[in-house]
Amino acid sequence: GAVVSQHPSWVICKSGTSVKIECRSLDFQATTMFWYRQFPKQSLMLMATSNEGSKATYEQGVEKDKFLINHASLTLSTLTVTSAHPEDSSFYICSVTPNIQYFGAGTRLSVL
């Protein structure tokens, strides 16, 4: 199966700052990666589909200018939460899908 590395695993930041989360596919060239968000005691919700070399596709209700996605290579996608606010505090998790979905370890973001 695919090995997915996600960093950082946990980040605390002040309101108004930006946070970058990296998702690396270590043994699979991923033209597509997915970004999910999970609020406490809730399910995983797809935020966006990251496409290598082109713009990401965002789900309804997800602000593309707030959640910047860059997928510049076949092994790396980044999600930047810009001007983070407390309501952005959540568990962010990426996945790649050579056949089934393989998830990164997730990033717990806490915005103070």
Partner 1 sequence: GENVEQHPSTLSVQEGDSAVIKCTYSDSASNYFPWYKQELGKRPQLIIDIRSNVGEKKDQRIAVTLNKTAKHFSLHITETQPEDSAVYFCAVSNSGYALNFGKGTSLLVTP
Which of the stretches 13-21, 38-46, 70-78, 81-89 binds partner 1 when contact is defined by CB under 8 A?
38-46
- By CB under 8 A, how many residues form the interface with partner 1? 20
For the bound state, the minimum distance from the C-beta of residue 83 to partner 1, rounded and expressed in Å, comes to: 26
The residue to which tokens 């707030």 are assigned = 66
Q: Which of residues 29, 42, 83, 110 is near partner 1 by CB under 8 A?
A: 42
**65-84 burial, b if ≥16 CB within 10 A, otherwise e?**
eebbbebeeebbbbbebeeb
Q: Which of residues 77, 90, 106, 109 is near partner 1 by CB under 8 A?
A: 106
Q: Which of 67, 80, 63 minimizes the C-alpha distance to 23? A: 80
Residues 21 and 78 sit within 8 Å (Cβ to Cβ): yes
Binding site for partner 1 (CB under 8 A): 32, 34, 42-46, 49, 91, 93, 95, 97, 99-101, 103-106, 108
